[in-house]
Amino acid sequence: MNASAHRLGKWSIILLQVLLWVVFYLLLLLYTSNKWNHALFGFLNTTIATASYMVATYVHAFWLIPRFLYSNKLTAYLLYSFFFLAILILLRMWAEKIFLLPLHQKFYAFQWAHISFTCITVMVAFLFGALLRVFYNYLKLIQVKNELQSRQAETELNLLKAQVQPHFLFNTLNNIYSLAHSRSEKTPEMIARLSELMRYFIDETPRKTVFIDAELNFIKNYIQLEQIRMLNPVKVSWHINTISKNKHIPPMLLIPFIENVFKHGVDKSKNFNGVAITLNEVDGQVLYKVENTVKEEKETTSGSGLFNLQKRLELLYGDRYLLHTKLENGWYIAELIFPLYAD
């Protein structure tokens, strides 16, 4: 839970309490005014009573319970509670005698009815303080749980993101080693491409989101890097519609489809291997599709990259994404739909 959401939740709870006290005050005011048929009496009676209820509720909830009961000081809690209630009851009765006795001689003269009524109502408010504390603790528990889940999700995302880089780098370094071992002229170019990709890893992947153009440039460099080691380069066709410049996505989210093409889909024994890459924006969502020829239609053409991708999507979007793969007429088709982020 971020700071703004936490503040919003805190203010929502405060406003809810204010609303409940206002409603309670108005209902009590309506009752006392009608009962005694005197507007001033109803106002004074309601104000003094409500003030005593609020003090009893909040002192119990936010001072007595956390200060003594949560510290295993039961004796101190009982003593302080007794003296607090005694003082509060006497103060309320004293205020009612001063302001209300002239209006009602019989009830507010420290008679037994006055004492018992005040004790009972203040005690009820005091018990409501305990309920408020339980509710407050419950909300704190939910907040801590959400923060822990958020941190766990962020940690898992970082781990999944980190798994992509070593996996890719190992493959690329193996390719460079093979080229260097055969003294290929492509070795310097491949090292240069790898340097550009490493710059992307360092500058962009630590971010939570990147612009789509940056991700596409990364994919193009990756494809060129893979093409260098191909005896018969893969024919790549691009179908990219204009996507708003202020839209961005999580880094390394599009590359698993492309990596899957070169790891599982390309048949190096064939003269022709085709890949079609489609990227559109529709109603604030990315429609991403990669189609590629496969070695054999019966062969599995997905690996750990797509599994990690699905895990990342679940952590990022929950059920707000669609991932679908299929084999059709000698082509492997991977489709992904997920929401865009906007500035």
Query: What sign for the dihedral angle of Cα 215, 208, 200, 267?
Result: negative
pLDDT for the residue 9: 64
The DSSP bridge pattern shows strands 274-282 and 235-240 to be: parallel
Is 68 strand, coil or helix? coil
Distances (CA, A) of 317 to 111, 152, 206, 280, 321: 66, 15, 19, 19, 6
CA 321 to chain CA mean position, Å = 16
Please tell me the number of Cα atoms within 13 Å of 9 on its side-chain side. Answer: 12
Asked whether 12 and 71 are in contact (CB, 8 A), the reply is: no
- Predicted TM-score (pTM) of the model is 0.55
How far apart are alpha carbons 36 and 50 in whole angstroms? 17
pLDDT for the residue 21: 93
Burial of 189 (0-12, 13-18, 19+ CB in 10 A): middle
Distances (CA, A) of 333 to 115, 239, 289: 81, 15, 7
pLDDT for the residue 183: 76
Asked whether 293 and 274 are in contact (CB, 8 A), the reply is: yes
SS (H, E, C) 312-329: HHHHHHCCCCEEEEEEEC
Low-confidence ranges of the chain (pLDDT < 70): 1-9, 36, 102-109, 148-168, 171, 229, 245, 296-304, 343
Least Cα distance to 225 among 181, 194, 265, 256 occurs for: 194
The DSSP bridge pattern shows strands 235-240 and 210-211 to be: unpaired
How far apart are alpha carbons 188 and 191 in whole angstroms? 5
How far apart are alpha carbons 104 and 36 in whole angstroms? 9
pLDDT for the residue 298: 46
Paired residues of 341 in beta bridges: 248
Phi, psi of 322 (to 5 degrees): -135, 120
Asked whether 215 and 251 are in contact (CB, 8 A), the reply is: yes
Distances (CA, A) of 143 to 7, 136, 146, 272: 12, 11, 5, 56
Is 333 strand, coil or helix? strand
Asked whether 192 and 233 are in contact (CB, 8 A), the reply is: no
Is 2 strand, coil or helix? coil
